[in-house]
A and B are shown apart, each in its own frame.
Chain A
């Protein structure tokens, strides 16, 4: 799977969890600071990434992921 594809799927997951339009999300947007995720949604996002990409994400490392680019890079390394 190419990086662009992962990026798009990541954005879809975020849009779904945070109830946003995909076009409202930029690669550098911080989930909390720019997109308004609260603490519960930050954890929901991790669970949604795991389900979407069928991977296990280490909780501590996953919580360090703060934007779309970080998420896409992390996921492509673990696929």
Chain B
């Protein structure tokens, strides 16, 4: 990252001196509690309260203004009301303070005047080379004992740990801290970045990439400002450091998506786009806080599994079966023990015990029996991880077993996860596990889900888009020229005929066609193209031609052409009388094949993205679609196709001829290039794209472009 920003963020996380600007003596208020938080967590630096009224706060000498402090100040935490924050920023500039945290609310989030105030704040900061976190945030915590800083109004400093948490929401931070406290989850850095008017999640991610105290990064986002940059940064972090990034992100409303004009638009809620973008950049998306921490502790506490073969050790049959089910459902495998393991287990466990996987050490098992079984499984080369189940029975020495697990875990470089089932009786054991950084899950299903995520992450091969696979036989200038001319003419929807001319510039497979303006021309063109032909109404006022009976198929001779021409015009006059008709398109009839839909849409944060799915009239009913941010390479195109349930239809299921998947992949790659090159295209639908048998290619049967 940029050296200047790194230095400023170092000042925020590792300051040697902190000024609290706008502090007061009123307990229970933010300006007061922040001072106390800094003092009571043994901050390894100097604290300067700045308050125009007080001579001292919490026994520490207070200054009227920051400029009155004789020594240099590394970090200013502004807690003044919003109305005077900008005055405070100007004094920071005078004092040559380069880093700040602005806790104060009353900026962009309240709109109107607040928005103007934030704009002015950014201007002052930029003019004076000040970097700041916030405004409207909870603050920053760094548990590194070198600094030990709690510059926030969270109730308590969390334990030290190797997980960093970045959050746009301050309130969520306090909930997360409380949740984590109960489970002994520690943090390296904890940041509430609020309105991110200056320092953004991207800057913080880049900083954490090089933070030796952070092994896992958690991110809560309400709004993504630069999706492409987020993807690029995540890729960089995962490629270079292997640190997993887990994100919690709420999606755009489905109402927003349903307002879109095209199929692609209506099928693409932001959730799908965010999922695609995160998948493409290696970010693990979580649905809720619990899932996020379940996965985070797995990856932060234990080594990643090399493969997916697990051993289950349990003291009860039922939970063993439940866990086995969950293992299979999560795509993991039950390990087959080596002969040596089986022999040792048979010798060490009672005769009634099940020595095959899942190993049942029997209800009366105490710590020694668990120890033998777990150690043996950990030693076995056929085992990649151990899942320990415990149910609290009268003779179960829960605390001893927990301690034994912690000891065994340190002896091997394989992951061990636990599920002590129950709540009250197992609490003390769970506490021991959590303090010893052994991932614990109340339910075995959650344990298996976390293992599966850790395994997938370990197998994730982060690659950049292979741009060498992009096609060079495309005419970007021509496409842009046609699109710009259409925009100048005030067109918003390009009918098929015009859409085809653009698709042709990217060598997309458009069947031969001509636009007829009367019956005579229609016959001429049909004879030139060769029968059978398809005839379609062309009007920028008509997006869905089938809905108004504007299409006639399988026309085999001149008389039929004339008849079809009349029928189409009649249908349009009846069903869409206000439509301005450009003509009737005469197009080569495409042979039968598998109908699929491909499309392009644009997301405010991630830009152009592609959609692929099963086509035809049921596309919105089945929603069997996949998404990726454009452009894409062949590997990604292949993933998009395989991800849908309808993949088998293309891949020769039940004796159907295998379809030309390679040609389909090429269409997706070319379309991704077109979407990325031409910002004028707001939405694009190819529905259907007809995929013929293997080696025969595919054809665009209908396309619409929305500008």
Contact = CB atoms under 8 A, between A and B. Distances in A.
Contact of B26 (A38, A42, A66): A38
A66 B84 contact: yes
A58 to B, nearest CB: 14
B435 interface: no
Nearest to A37: B53
Interface stretch (A9-17, A27-35, A47-55): A27-35
Nearest to B52: A36
A36 B81 contact: no
Contacts of B29: 38
Contacts of A4: none
A32 B51 contact: no
A32 B87 CA distance: 10
Contacts of B53: 18, 35-36
A28 B24 CA distance: 22
Interface in B30-60: 31, 51-54
Among B83, B87, B88, find the residue whose CB has the most chain A CB atoms closer than 10 A: B83
A33 B24 contact: no
A35 B52 contact: yes
Contact of A36 (B54, B87, B88): B54
B83 A63 contact: yes
Interface in B1-39: 22, 24, 26, 29, 31
Contact of B83 (A34, A38, A66): A66
B27 to A, nearest CB: 12
B88 A33 contact: yes
B83 A32 contact: yes
B525 interface: no
A30 B81 contact: no
B25 to A, nearest CB: 10
B68 to A, nearest CB: 12
B80 A33 contact: yes
B26 A33 contact: no
Contacts of A35: 52-53
Given A18-B53, A32-B80, A38 B87 contact: no
Nearest to A34: B52
A20 to B, nearest CB: 8
Nearest to B85: A33
B302 to A, nearest CB: 48
B152 to A, nearest CB: 19
A42 B52 CA distance: 14
Contacts of B31: 38
B79 to A, nearest CB: 11
A32 B549 CA distance: 71
A5 interface: no
Contacts of A66: 83-84
Contacts of A36: 24, 51-54
B84 A39 contact: no
A33 B54 contact: no
A38 B53 CA distance: 10
B24 A38 contact: yes
Nearest to A39: B81
A41 to B, nearest CB: 10
A30 B87 contact: yes
A30 B90 CA distance: 14
B26 A32 contact: no
A42 B51 CA distance: 15
Contacts of A39: 81
In this complex, the member of A33, A35, A36, A66 whose beta carbon has the largest number of chain B beta carbons within 10 angstroms is A33
A26 B54 CA distance: 18
Contacts of B84: 30, 32-33, 66
Contacts of B24: 36, 38
A61 to B, nearest CB: 12
Contacts of B81: 32, 39, 42
Among A18, A34, A36, the most chain B Cβ lie within 10 Å of the Cβ of A36
A30 B85 CA distance: 12
A33 B67 CA distance: 13
A65 B22 CA distance: 19
Contacts of A30: 84, 87
A32 B79 CA distance: 12
Interface in B329-350: none
A35 B81 CA distance: 13
A42 B82 CA distance: 13
A66 B84 CA distance: 9
Interface in B438-494: none
Contacts of A38: 24, 26, 29, 31
B87 A33 contact: yes
Nearest to A30: B84
Contacts of A18: 53
Contacts of B80: 32-33
B439 to A, nearest CB: 44
A30 B88 CA distance: 12
Interface in B59-102: 80-81, 83-84, 87-88
Contacts of A32: 22, 52, 80-81, 83-84
Nearest to A36: B53
A9 to B, nearest CB: 22
B399 to A, nearest CB: 50
Nearest to B26: A38
Most A Cβ at <10 Å: residue of B53, B81, B84: B53
A63 B52 CA distance: 19
A25 B84 CA distance: 18
Contacts of B51: 36
A39 B22 CA distance: 11
Q: Which of B22, B29, B84 has the most chain A CB within a 10 Å cutoff?
A: B84
Nearest to B87: A33
A42 B80 CA distance: 12
A33 B89 CA distance: 11
A32 to B, nearest CB: 5
22 contacts: A18-B53, A30-B84, A30-B87, A32-B22, A32-B80, A32-B81, A33-B52, A33-B80, A33-B87, A33-B88, A35-B52, A36-B24, A36-B51, A36-B52, A38-B24, A38-B26, A38-B31, A39-B81, A42-B81, A63-B83, A66-B83, A66-B84
Given A30-B87, A35-B52, A38-B26, 15 more contacts: A18-B53, A32-B52, A32-B84, A33-B52, A33-B80, A33-B84, A33-B87, A33-B88, A36-B51, A36-B53, A36-B54, A38-B24, A39-B81, A63-B83, A66-B84
Sorted from nearest, which 6 A-B pairs have the closest CB atoms? A36-B53, A36-B52, A33-B84, A32-B84, A33-B87, A34-B52
Interface of A: 18, 30, 32-36, 38-39, 42, 63, 66
